[in-house]
Structure 1
C-alpha cells in the first residue's frame, strides 16, 4: 500500500486549507500514459470508485483510482521544497528492509 509520510500529510492539509477544500477533500494522484507518469491535484471529494488513504498523524487524505492504486502499491509519497501554498510531492520506492 502507498505510504504517506507525515510531512506529505502536513503539506496536503496546508494546500487543501489554502484552497478552501473541506475535510472530505485531499490530494488526488492519477496515473498517466506519458511523462510525468503521475499527476497530482487537490480534489474537493473522492470519486465514487476511488480508494482513499489517510495519513495517520495528520488525517490528510490521498485519493487514487484503481489503476493508480495498483501502480503506487509499493511507493512512498513524500514532499520537499514546501513554499507558501505550493509543495513538491514525490513518489519513490519504499525501502522494504525497514517497517
Structure 2
C-alpha cells in the first residue's frame, strides 16, 4: 500500500497514447512510496533521436526536501523510457547522503 503524500502528475505529448498515463502514475507512485518525495512529474514525448526515428523521451522531475532531482531516458516506447528514467531517479535518490536518515 502506498502511504506517500507526494503530488504526482503525468502528461504525454503528441504521438503518445494517453491511455499509458494510468500505468505511468502507478509506477511514479511506487517510487514516491520508497522515498520522501514532495512532488514528482512525469512527461513523455516523441523525439527525433538520430539513432531511433520513433524514439520516446521520458522526463522525470522530483522535489525532495526542497532539492530538485531530474532523470530522463530515450527508448523505443514510453513504457520502456519511463521505466528507465524512474530507475535512474531511484538510483540518484538512493545515493543521496541526506536521505540516509529518512
TM range (shorter): 0.3 to 0.5
Q: Which of the pair is proportionally richer in strand?
A: 1
Q: Which of the pair is proportionally richer in helix?
A: 2
TM-score (norm 1): 0.32
